[in-house]
C-alpha cells in the first residue's frame, strides 16, 4: 500500500469520528485496544489499565517495584487467609466510594469468569470484613498475595449497568476495533488538570507510523523498526526502551510432527537469537522465560547448534530427500509460522525464523492473522510467534502457572508435565524470593528439555512523540501507557 493511500485512509477514518473526538487535547496511536469493558473477558483488565481507565489493588511501578495502588497492604492471617487493607477516600468514577464489599464482588466475579484470574491461585473466596478490609482465601496457597493481586486480570470495578472503574480517565465512547474517547475521571485527584484523550487503533505499525509522520498523532506506541529512520529524519522524537516482555514461539505439541520432543528441541536448537535481535535492530537474546537483570533470569544463553538439531531430526525419522527436504513415511515436514500485526516485531521476525528452519530441511510458510486470540485459544497453529510480559506483577508464578500448568487457560502449546506441575505446587509454598528464583529456574530447565516454547528475545520498543508529549516517559512495558501523570 502506498504512503499516500495510507494517509488518505487514516484521514478518512479520523474524519468519520464525531466532532468532539476529532479535536482532543492528545491523540495516541496504538496497534491494540480494549475490545470490551468487562474484566471478566479475555485481556480486558490489562488493556483498561493500560488505557488509564482501570486500577488494581497493587501494581508494579516505573522502577519495577511492587507497590500499593488501591490497597495499602496484604497480610497473611493465622488461618492462612489474607487480609487486604484498602487506602481510604478512593472513589469510583461515578462517585461511589471504593469499599471492601465492592472490591470483593468485582474480583470474585472476574475470578469466576476469567481463566487468567485463576492461573496463580485457582478459585478465590472473598468477603468484606468492614468497609476498608477484605479477606481472601484461595484454592491454591500463595506466599505472595500482593503480587497475585497485581496480575493484570484483577482490575477493580463495580457493576452498574456496565463496569465502573477508578482510574484517572473514564471512557466516553468506545468504537470496538477502532478507537476510544477518554475524558478525565472527575473523582480522581487532579482531574481538573487533565485533558481528553483520543486513543486511535491502527491495524499495523506502518500505518500508525505514517499517521504520526503526517502530524495526526501526538504519540505512537510501539513503532516498527523499519519506520524509525524516516521518522527521525523528519525530526520526530523516538524513545527506545527495553521492555519486560519476552518474544517467544509456541510449538503446538498437538500437531503430529511437533508431538515429538526431538523435533521441538531441534527447532529450538537451530534458532540463532543474535540474528533475530539484529533483525529487529534492538533487544537482547533471551536466556529463558524472564528478562536479564530480573531476579528470576537465568545466566546461561540458549544454545544454537545446527549440527545437533539435524541429528535430532534424523533420530526422529525425518530424513532428507534428494531435494534437501525432510520427510517421514512419505509425508513432508511442513510447518506454518504465524504472527500478528499488533506486535510489529513479530512480523519482522517471520522471514528470519523461516530461513533458519528451512536450513534444517523443514518446509516453512508464514501467515499473519488479524487477531491472535482465536488462533491461540483454538490451537489452530503449528508455530506461533508471541509477545507477553512474563513478570507483570514482579513474580514468576503468574506466567509459569498460566502458560505451563497442565490444562491452564493460556497453555497454548498443549504442554503437560507432571514434573512441572509438582514444581509449580512447590513454588506456591515458598515465600523467599531467592528460593522462588531457584524453583522457577528448575521449571525453566524442564521446559527447555521438552521445548513446548522457544524463548527468543527481550525486545526494545519504540515510542514516537510529538511536541505536546515531549516529556513522556515509557514505563518498561505497555501496562500503563496512559497514567495519572499523562500530559501533565
> Of 198, 221, 271, which is closest to residue 475 (Cα–Cα)?
221
DSSP 8-state code for residue 211: H
Q: What is the pTM of this model?
A: 0.84
User: Can you tell me the distance from the alpha carbon of 434 to that of 440, in angstroms, rounded to the nearest whole number?
Assistant: 10
Distances, alpha carbon 290 to alpha carbons 94, 398, 400, 433, in Å: 39, 12, 10, 14
Contact 266, 400 (CB under 8 A): no
Residue 24 is predicted with a pLDDT of 56
Sign of CA dihedral 420, 421, 426, 432: positive
DSSP, collapsed to helix, strand or coil, labels residue 218 as: coil
User: Which ranges in 157-302 belong to alpha helices (H)?
Assistant: 205-213, 228-233, 261-270, 273-279
The b-or-e profile of 200-227 (16+ CB within 10 A means b, else e) is bbbebbbbbbbbbbeebbbbbbbbbbeb
Cell numbers given for 246: 519476552
| Strand (E) or helix (H) holding 410 | none
| Residue 117: Cβ within 10 Å count | 28
Strand positions, DSSP E, 106-228: 124-128, 133-138, 158-159, 163-164, 169-175, 179-184, 197-201, 219-221
- The CA-based angle 426-107-130, given to 5 degrees, is 105
Cell numbers given for 357: 528452519
User: Can you tell me the distance from the alpha carbon of 192 to that of 306, in angstroms, rounded to the nearest whole number?
Assistant: 60
DSSP 8-state code for residue 136: E
Residue 64 is predicted with a pLDDT of 82
Backbone angles phi, psi at 303, to 5 degrees: -75, 150
User: Can you tell me the distance from the alpha carbon of 400 to that of 408, in angstroms, rounded to the nearest whole number?
Assistant: 10
> Of 438, 430, 437, 405, which is closest to residue 419 (Cα–Cα)?
405
> Of 210, 226, 230, 217, which is closest to residue 8 (Cα–Cα)?
210
Contact 316, 260 (CB under 8 A): yes
- The CA-based angle 325-327-329, given to 5 degrees, is 160
User: Can you tell me the distance from the alpha carbon of 375 to that of 359, in angstroms, rounded to the nearest whole number?
Assistant: 27
User: Can you tell me the distance from the alpha carbon of 41 to that of 44, in angstroms, rounded to the nearest whole number?
Assistant: 6
pLDDT in tens, the chain (488 residues): 444 443 444 444 444 444 334 445 899 999 999 989 999 999 999 999 999 999 999 999 988 889 999 999 999 999 999 999 999 999 999 999 999 999 999 999 999 999 999 999 999 999 999 999 999 999 999 999 999 999 999 999 999 999 999 999 999 999 988 999 999 999 999 999 999 999 999 999 999 999 999 999 999 999 998 999 999 999 999 999 888 899 999 999 999 999 999 999 999 999 999 999 999 988 899 999 999 888 999 999 999 999 999 999 999 999 999 999 999 999 999 999 999 998 999 999 999 999 999 999 999 999 999 989 999 999 999 999 999 999 989 899 999 999 999 999 999 999 999 999 999 999 999 999 999 999 999 999 999 999 999 999 999 899 999 999 999 999 878 889 999 999 98
User: Can you tell me the distance from the alpha carbon of 465 to that of 471, in angstroms, rounded to the nearest whole number?
Assistant: 9
Backbone angles phi, psi at 219, to 5 degrees: -155, 140
> Of 257, 269, 268, which is closest to residue 327 (Cα–Cα)?
257
DSSP 8-state code for residue 122: -
User: Can you tell me the distance from the alpha carbon of 171 to that of 471, in angstroms, rounded to the nearest whole number?
Assistant: 24
Cβ partners under 8 Å of residue 35, min gap 6: 42, 44, 47, 176, 177
Domains of the chain are 3-37+167-242+461-469 (3.40.190.10), 55-164 (3.90.76.10), 245-458 (3.10.105.10)
- DSSP one-letter string for 354-387: HHHHHTTT-EEEEEE-S-HHHHHHHT--SEEEEE
User: Can you tell me the distance from the alpha carbon of 59 to that of 395, in angstroms, rounded to the nearest whole number?
Assistant: 12
Cell numbers given for 406: 497442565
Amino acid at each position: 500500500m502506498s504512503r499516500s493511500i495510507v494517509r488518505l485512509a487514516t484521514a478518512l477514518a479520523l474524519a468519520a469520528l464525531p466532532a468532539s473526538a476529532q479535536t482532543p487535547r492528545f491523540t495516541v496511536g496504538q496497534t491494540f485496544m480494549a475490545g470490551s469493558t468487562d474484566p471478566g473477558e479475555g485481556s480486558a483488565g490489562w488493556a483498561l489499565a493500560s488505557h488509564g481507565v482501570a486500577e488494581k489493588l497493587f501494581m508494579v511501578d516505573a522502577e519495577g517495584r511492587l507497590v500499593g495502588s488501591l490497597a495499602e497492604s496484604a497480610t497473611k492471617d493465622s488461618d492462612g487467609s489474607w487480609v487486604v487493607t484498602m487506602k481510604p477516600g478512593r472513589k469510583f468514577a461515578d462517585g461511589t466510594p471504593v469499599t471492601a464489599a465492592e472490591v470483593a464482588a468485582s474480583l470474585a466475579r472476574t475470578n469466576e469468569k476469567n481463566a487468567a484470574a485463576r492461573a496463580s491461585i485457582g478459585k478465590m473466596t472473598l468477603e468484606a470484613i468492614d468497609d476498608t478490609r477484605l479477606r481472601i482465601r484461595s484454592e491454591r496457597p500463595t506466599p505472595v498475595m500482593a503480587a497475585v493481586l497485581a496480575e493484570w486480570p484483577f482490575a477493580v470495578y463495580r457493576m452498574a449497568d456496565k463496569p465502573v472503574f477508578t482510574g484517572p480517565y473514564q471512557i466516553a465512547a468506545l468504537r470496538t476495533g477502532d478507537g476510544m474517547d477518554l475524558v478525565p475521571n472527575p473523582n480522581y485527584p487532579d482531574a481538573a488538570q487533565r485533558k481528553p484523550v483520543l486513543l486511535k487503533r491502527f491495524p499495523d505499525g506502518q500505518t500508525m507510523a505514517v499517521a504520526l509522520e503526517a502530524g495526526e498523532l501526538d504519540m505512537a506506541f510501539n513503532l516498527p523498526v523499519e519506520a524509525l529512520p524516516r521518522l527521525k529524519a523528519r525530526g520526530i522524537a523516538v524513545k527506545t526502551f527495553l521492555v519486560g516482555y519476552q518474544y517467544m514461539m509456541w510449538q503446538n505439541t498437538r500437531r503430529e510432527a511437533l508431538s515429538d520432543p526431538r523435533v521441538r528441541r531441534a527447532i529450538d536448537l537451530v534458532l540463532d537469537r543474535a540474528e533475530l535481535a539484529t533483525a529487529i535492530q534492538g533487544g537482547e537474546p533471551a536466556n529463558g522465560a524472564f528478562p536479564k537483570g530480573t531476579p528470576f533470569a537465568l545466566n546461561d544463553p540458549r544454545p544454537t547448534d545446527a549440527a545437533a538439531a539435524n541429528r535430532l531430526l534424523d533420530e526422529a525419522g525425518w530424513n532428507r530427500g534428494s531435494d534437501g527436504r525432510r520427510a517421514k513415511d512419505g509425508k513432508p515436514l511442513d510447518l506454518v509460522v504465524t504472527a500478528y500485526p499488533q506486535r510489529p516485531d513479530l512480523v519482522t521476525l517471520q522471514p528470519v525464523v523461516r530461513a533458519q528452519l528451512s536450513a534444517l530441511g523443514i518446509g516453512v510458510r508464514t501467515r499473519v492473522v488479524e487477531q491472535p486470540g482465536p488462533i491461540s485459544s483454538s490451537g489452530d497453529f503449528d508455530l506461533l510467534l508471541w509477545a507477553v510480559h512474563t513478570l507483570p506483577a514482579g513474580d514468576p508464578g503468574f506466567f509459569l502457572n498460566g502458560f505451563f500448568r497442565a490444562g491452564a487457560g493460556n497453555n497454548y502449546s498443549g504442554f503437560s508435565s507432571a514434573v512441572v506441575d509438582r514444581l509449580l505446587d512447590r513454588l506456591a509454598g515458598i515465600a523467599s524470593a531467592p528460593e522462588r528464583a531457584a524453583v522457577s529456574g528448575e521449571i525453566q530447565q524442564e521446559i527447555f528439555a521438552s521445548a513446548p516454547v522457544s524463548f527468543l528475545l527481550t525486545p526494545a520498543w519504540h515510542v514516537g512523540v510529538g511536541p505536546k508529549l515531549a516529556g513522556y516517559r515509557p514505563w518498561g512495558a505497555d501496562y500503563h501507557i496512559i497514567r495519572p501523570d499523562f500530559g501533565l
